[in-house]
Structure 1
Amino acid sequence: MPIAEPAQTRSPARFAALGGAAAVVLTVVLVGGLDLYRLTESSRHLRRTISEYALGPYRWAFDTGVLLLVLGSVVILAVLVRQGLAKWHSAGSLAFSAWSAGLTLVVIFPKNDWSIGPSLSGSIHRFGSMVAFIALPVAMVLLARPWLRDPVWAAHARWTFRFGLLSALAFTPILYAILVNAVVGTSWWRVIPLGYVERLLVLTEVVAVLVAGVWAVAAAHPARPAPGAQPAYKLSSTSR
């Protein structure tokens, strides 16, 4: 009688998903570590944006952290696509790609050094950060929506969807500040405590990426087939 045996005990896709999630965690460790280190000196720096680190001696840590987040995001998306949970040309995947592209611009083009004045680099930096902040909530919501009622992936999809909405909510203070600037004329970065708001937004969005990473790890588990696929197994010819 044929005996069913597991066809695979290790999955390259799962290792990739774990690596992507680990890269996101390292981002939190690096950038969060900078904040904790600076807190030993003063809390005043928290009023400034995180990108301020790129203008000083800690640029290597900031750039490394953001690039790790880009790498982790790309890998997580690739695994979700590989496992059949998304398609490269879908709106959710394109928005996730825009998040990564925006973060890459943030690294390549440092923010304005206001001791010198505005610059083209600073304008591109601001554009990249806005693209990233807006694209990530859209990506999480769109990637999760088709799976909210799926019998296997509903729980992961719901958590991803919720953090997408939470990320959008965390962005609303910046939208409010921009609206005040348009109506009243007050500089938008003076309307809100920008450094604190940005840190809350970044933390929320990074956790959203990590939640998607956990989903990718689960989807790539050898014992759980991709959507629409048959469970992977092979038949042993030993039958007596």
Structure 2
Amino acid sequence: MAGLTFGFAGSVNPLRDPVSDYAWHRGGRLLFAVAVLLLLAAAGALAAAAHLAALPRTPLASVLFVLWTAGLIVVLVFRSNVSATDPTVSGEIHRVGGAVLFTSLPLAARTLSTRLRTEPRWLPAASAVRRGATAGLVTAAAFGLTQLVGWLPLGLLERAALLGEFTIVATVATALRRAVR
């Protein structure tokens, strides 16, 4: 995402414009797709590592993680609106996918952290995952407010929410790595 932000600095305002606007500029669609595909690959790697590490989980956490990956796929497949004042079916589906991905991963991590607290082996990871979940929830809520309060910096808060998502992925990956050592 940082590469997209700096590479398209003259075309996309990172304070105001959503991340998916990169896809509307020459070369941006491919780079946006690669970024989302890398995040999907990270999701697959986390799922495999969770299985190998015998990560305790709940059905709710599993469903929320699946919803997160579904949200990623939706924002990849359906193009965003060119303009907020001229919505399209594809753009509205893209927005719903974004809402699902920004909501479901922090909730999944929060649910997972609660489950991990019941297992002595996973207790150190539980606190770290909960902190990541909290960061994700706070940044997702701030970004969600931009849908209701027009003067908030949508682009900046979406990038903060993405950073929250990356924090969760990194936190869970670190917890899994430490658990298998």
Residues 175, 98 of structure 1: alpha-carbon distance in 2 compared, 3 angstrom cutoff: same
Alignment partner of 1:84: what SS? coil
Match of 1:146 among 103, 110, 115: 115
* Letter matched to residue 172 of structure 1: A
C-alpha distance after superposition, 1:25-49 (max 9, x if no partner):
xxxxxx211212334x488343201
1: CA distance between counterparts of 2:84 and 2:62?
39
With structure 1 as the length reference, what TM-score do the two structures score?
A: 0.68
Q: Based on CA coordinates, which of the two structures has the bigger radius of gyration?
A: 1
Tell me if the contact between 1:141 and 1:164 (Cα under 8 Å) persists in the aligned partners: yes
Report the structure, 1 or 2, having the larger helix content.
2
Moved over 4 A (4+): none
Tell me if the contact between 1:137 and 1:164 (Cα under 8 Å) persists in the aligned partners: yes
Q: Which residue does 1:210 correspond to in 2?
A: 170
C-alpha distance after superposition, 1:129-186 (max 9, x if no partner):
00001101111011121222543322222111111011111122234444xx4xxxxx
2: CA distance between counterparts of 1:44 and 1:120?
24
Match of 1:61 among 16, 19, 31: 31
Q: For structure 1, which segment, 43-52 or 129-138, has the greater mean C-alpha deviation from structure 2 after superposition?
A: 43-52
CA root-mean-square deviation = 2.2
| TM superposition shift of 1:112 | 0.7
Q: How does 1:108-147 map to 2 (within 5 A)?
A: 108-114=77-83, 117-147=86-116
With structure 2 as the length reference, what TM-score do the two structures score?
A: 0.88
Q: How does 1:3-82 map to 2 (within 5 A)?
A: 31-39=1-9, 41=10, 44-57=13-26, 58-82=28-52
Match of 2:73 among 87, 104, 110: 104
Tell me if the contact between 2:56 and 2:115 (Cα under 8 Å) persists in the aligned partners: no
Tell me if the contact between 1:74 and 1:100 (Cα under 8 Å) persists in the aligned partners: no
Match of 2:157 among 177, 183, 197: 197
Alignment partner of 1:208: what SS? helix
Gaps of 5+ in 2: none
Alignment partner of 2:50: what SS? helix
Q: Which residue does 2:55 correspond to in 1?
A: 85
Tell me if the contact between 1:77 and 1:96 (Cα under 8 Å) persists in the aligned partners: no
1: CA distance between counterparts of 2:71 and 2:145?
22
